[in-house]
Each structure stands twice: as C-alpha cells, then as structure tokens.
C-alpha cells in the first residue's frame, strides 16, 4: 500500500506524545508499506532524517503574524489550528495527489486537517489523539486557574467545539487513543466515524529490566512535560496531599519529578521538602529514571487521552500507582496490573507498600506483561492499518 502521511510538525526526535506516536507508527507501517511523509514545519536542518520512510518532505512554514492569527480566529478557526496555517502546504499536498497514486491518506493532528483538499476529507483518516474540546472543557476543572484564565479556557473550548463540529463529521475516519474518549466523543457530537488506535511502547528485553535490589531505595518517579497543566496539577496534588503521608512512614523516600520546563508552582510546592524532592527539568532519557525507581506515580485528575507515563513505566516493569482519571485511557485492572486509588490516604499507602517491597515482584511482572501485550507499537500499527480509509 502506498500511504501519504501529513503532519504539522516533523516528528523527530520523538520527544512529545504526538511525535512519539507518529514516529513509531510510521516505523511499523514502513515495514510492509510504502510511506510518503509530508510535513509543514519551521525551517530546520534535515540532518536527522527518518531513515525508514520512502520519502520525506518538509514544506517551510513562517510563523503567522499576530494579524494573520486573529484574522483566522475571527473566522472561527481555533488558535491551535491558526498557528499551523500554511497555504504552501495545501498547494503541495494537492500537487502530490494529482501526480501520484496513493492508496490511503493518514493525517496526524487536528491542526493538519486544513492541508487536505476539501473534496478528499471523506476519504481521509485523521489521528487526533484525543478530542481537544473535551480536553479544554475538563481542563477548566483544575484548580490552577485564575478567574480570567478560566474564562479564556471557556472561550477556547467553545471555539474548538464549533470547529470540531464543522470538520469531524466530514472525515472518513477519526482516531483517538482510548475507548473512553471514543465513546464520549461519539455521544457528545453524534458521530459514527470514530475509531480507537492505542498508544504503544517498545517491548523491553529481560536483561534490560532492573529487579528490586538493583533499584534505588525509596525512589518515586513522576514523569512528563511539567509545564502541561494536568501534570502541574498532579504534581502539586501529590506534594500537598500524599507525599507528607509517605514521608511520615518512610522518611528516606525521594520524589523525582522528571520532565521538561517544570512550572514555578511545582518548585514552590517542593521547596518545603528540601532534598526529599528532586526536580530535573529536561533529561536526555526518561527511561534512565523509570528503570531505577521502585514506584512510578500518576496522580493526575484530568480524564482525557492515554497517560503514556503509565505505559512507559509498566514497560520497564516499574509498578504504578495512579488515579482512576489516570487509568481512564489505559484500562488496566487495579491490583492485577497496577494500583488505582483516588483517596489521598489510600494512594499514599499503596506507594508505601511498594516502597517496602510488598507484592512488588508480582505487580512488576504483571504490569510489564499487560503493557507489552496490550500496548506494543506492533499492535498499535496493526490497528491503525485496519482503520485506514481507501482513497
């Protein structure tokens, strides 16, 4: 199959969720199909090219001026989409479709739909990861915002929902990461063209997995982009409501907050704990922390998408304690694959139990098995292939 893939950003190196998904799914698809990738990004050095693609083309995009962005927004285009406007990309995609025969077209991201010729929207497959209007609406419930910020979020939510209603029903196939989001989106917007393609993780070799004795005593890890509001809220929630309970019974515990651009509010909340909390900022390899930790936590309170931090931890056989919101896109079973607790006291007790080694080996092995069986990149690509709409 000859596959034309469109994106608003070059997904290499794969450091954030959307780039990780596009990179690994294209890598798997390229093993049996001809993948031709075109993206619209800021001018950059193509030295780090994705070697497995049959072709890879970048259409340079100049950052839109403030006037251009507001003109788009005035027409009902969400800021996320207006930021990626690129008429040159629209022209280039039309040229490629006119001169080449493709069997299917895959589009990564809601903001990339604008590059597809309107006449072909009904035959396009679009991976939006999670519904943006639902994300924005639920984000308003976080306790991080000032009244002014919450009002702006409310406006953005309405603009995004209006845009989605105008666009999503016209697409051949819409793909999201979780069954929960799929059901919610279909019910919310009365859609029938929604499918689910899961996130994936690389299956780790047994010799790369560290056992209990090889891991750092008392080490708890929380990973992710630490400027992302749900992660900021989750970090502050754990520091305020759970970590004092953990330290009261396990004074040697150390929380490692690992991820790019940590919000100043996280630093402020962590200051009272001194060296019991380590905030790293951006690191070359998060896996180096995952495989040394005895517990990985996901105390987020926003129910949307799939928490990749959980799957990455499980793939390294690191036991996880999460909330029901964190597990909503994963579908793991509490007590079998990981622990799910919403009450702060119960959450802290699960962390303490794992720090003491209680049932650690069983949960470590079961969690890794769950991640490798349900969320491998091979399975993700196979499900994506089955969802592609023929051109």
Dist CA 66 CA 109 (whole Å):
23
| Residues whose CB is less than 8 angstroms from the CB of residue 357 and which lie 6 or more positions away in sequence, other chains included | 212, 294
Q: Are 18 and 111 in contact (CB under 8 A)?
A: no
Q: Tens digit of pLDDT per residue, the chain (391 long)?
A: 999 999 998 888 777 778 899 999 999 999 999 999 999 887 665 555 678 899 999 998 888 888 887 888 888 889 989 989 999 999 999 999 999 999 999 999 999 999 999 999 999 999 999 999 999 999 999 989 999 999 999 999 999 999 999 999 999 999 999 999 999 999 999 999 999 999 999 989 899 999 999 999 999 999 999 999 999 999 999 999 999 999 999 999 999 999 999 999 999 999 999 999 999 999 999 999 999 999 999 999 998 888 999 999 999 999 999 999 999 999 999 999 999 999 999 999 999 999 999 999 999 999 999 999 999 999 999 999 999 998 7
Number of Cβ within a 10 Å radius of residue 218:
18
Sorted by where each starts, the structural domains of the chain and their CATH numbers stand as 2-200+377-387 (3.40.50.2000), 206-374 (3.40.50.2000)
Residue 374 pLDDT: 94
CB neighbour class for 79 (10 Å; exposed up to 12, middle 13-18, buried from 19): middle
Residue 49 pLDDT: 61
Residue 320 pLDDT: 98
State the virtual CA torsion across 72, 73, 76, 81 in degrees, nearest 10.
Answer: 70
Dist CA 390 CA 303 (whole Å):
33
Q: Are 174 and 168 in contact (CB under 8 A)?
A: yes
pTM: 0.91
344: which strand partners? none
Residue from 92, 18, 83, 87 nearest 55 by CA: 92
| Residues whose CB is less than 8 angstroms from the CB of residue 289 and which lie 6 or more positions away in sequence, other chains included | 221, 223, 256, 258, 280, 283
Dist CA 307 CA 330 (whole Å):
7
Within the chain, what is the greatest distance between any pair of CA atoms? 68
Q: Are 293 and 218 in contact (CB under 8 A)?
A: no
Dist CA 359 CA 294 (whole Å):
12
Sheet holding 173-176, edge to edge: 55-60, 34-41, 2-7, 104-108, 124-129, 173-176, 194-196
Residue 45 pLDDT: 58
Beta strand 320-322 with 219-223: parallel, antiparallel or unpaired?
unpaired
Residue 44 pLDDT: 60
| Residues whose CB is less than 8 angstroms from the CB of residue 4 and which lie 6 or more positions away in sequence, other chains included | 36, 38, 93, 96, 97, 100, 102, 104, 105, 106
- List, as one string, the DSSP characters of 99-152: HS--SEEEEESGGGGGGS-GGGGGGEEEEEES-HHHHHHHHTTSTT--HHHHHH
Residue from 94, 122, 107, 84 nearest 7 by CA: 107
- Mapped onto helix, strand or coil, the DSSP state of residue 299 is coil
DSSP assigned state of 368: H
Q: Are 299 and 238 in contact (CB under 8 A)?
A: yes
Dist CA 84 CA 82 (whole Å):
5
- Mapped onto helix, strand or coil, the DSSP state of residue 285 is coil
């Amino acid at each position: 199959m000859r596959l034309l893939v469109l994106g608003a950003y070059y997904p290499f190196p794969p450091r954030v969720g959307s780039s990780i998904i596009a990179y690994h799914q294209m890598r798997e698809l390229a093993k049996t199909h001809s993948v031709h990738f075109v993206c619209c990004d800021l001018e950059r050095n193509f030295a780090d090219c994705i070697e497995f693609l049959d072709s890879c083309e970048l259409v340079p995009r100049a950052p839109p001026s403030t006037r251009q962005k507001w003109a788009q927004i005035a027409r009902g285009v969400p800021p996320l989409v207006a930021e990626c406007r690129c008429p040159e990309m629209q022209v280039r995609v039309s040229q490629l479709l006119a001169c080449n025969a493709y069997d299917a077209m895959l589009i990564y991201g809601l903001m990339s739909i604008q590059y597809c010729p309107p006449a072909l929207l009904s035959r396009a497959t679009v991976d939006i990861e999670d519904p943006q209007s639902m994300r924005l609406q639920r984000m308003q419930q976080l306790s991080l915002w000032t009244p002014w910020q919450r009002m702006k979020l409310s406006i953005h939510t309405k603009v995004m929902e209006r845009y989605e209603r105008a666009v999503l029903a016209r697409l051949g196939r819409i793909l999201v990461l979780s069954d929960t989001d799929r059901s919610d989106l279909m019910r919310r917007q009365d859609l029938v063209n929604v499918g689910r393609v899961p996130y994936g993780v690389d299956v780790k070799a047994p010799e790369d997995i560290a056992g209990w004795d090889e891991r750092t005593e008392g080490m708890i890890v929380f990973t992710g982009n630490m400027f992302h509001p749900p992660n900021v809220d989750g970090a502050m929630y754990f520091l305020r409501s759970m970590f004092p309970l953990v330290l009261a019974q396990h004074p040697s515990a150390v929380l490692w907050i690992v991820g790019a651009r940590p919000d100043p509010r996280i630093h402020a909340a962590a200051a009272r704990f001194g060296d019991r909390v380590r905030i790293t900022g951006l690191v070359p390899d998060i896996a180096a922390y995952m495989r040394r930790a005895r517990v990985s936590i996901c105390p987020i309170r926003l129910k949307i998408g799939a928490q990749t931090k959980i799957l990455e931890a499980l793939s390294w056989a690191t036991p996880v304690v999460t909330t029901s919101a964190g597990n909503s896109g994963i579908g793991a079973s509490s007590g079998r694959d990981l622990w799910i607790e919403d009450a702060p006291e119960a959450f802290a007790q699960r962390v303490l139990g794992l720090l003491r080694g209680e049932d650690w080996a069983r949960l470590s092995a079961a969690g890794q098995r769950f991640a490798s069986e349900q969320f491998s990149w091979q399975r993700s690509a196979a499900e994506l292939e089955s969802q592609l709409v023929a051109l």
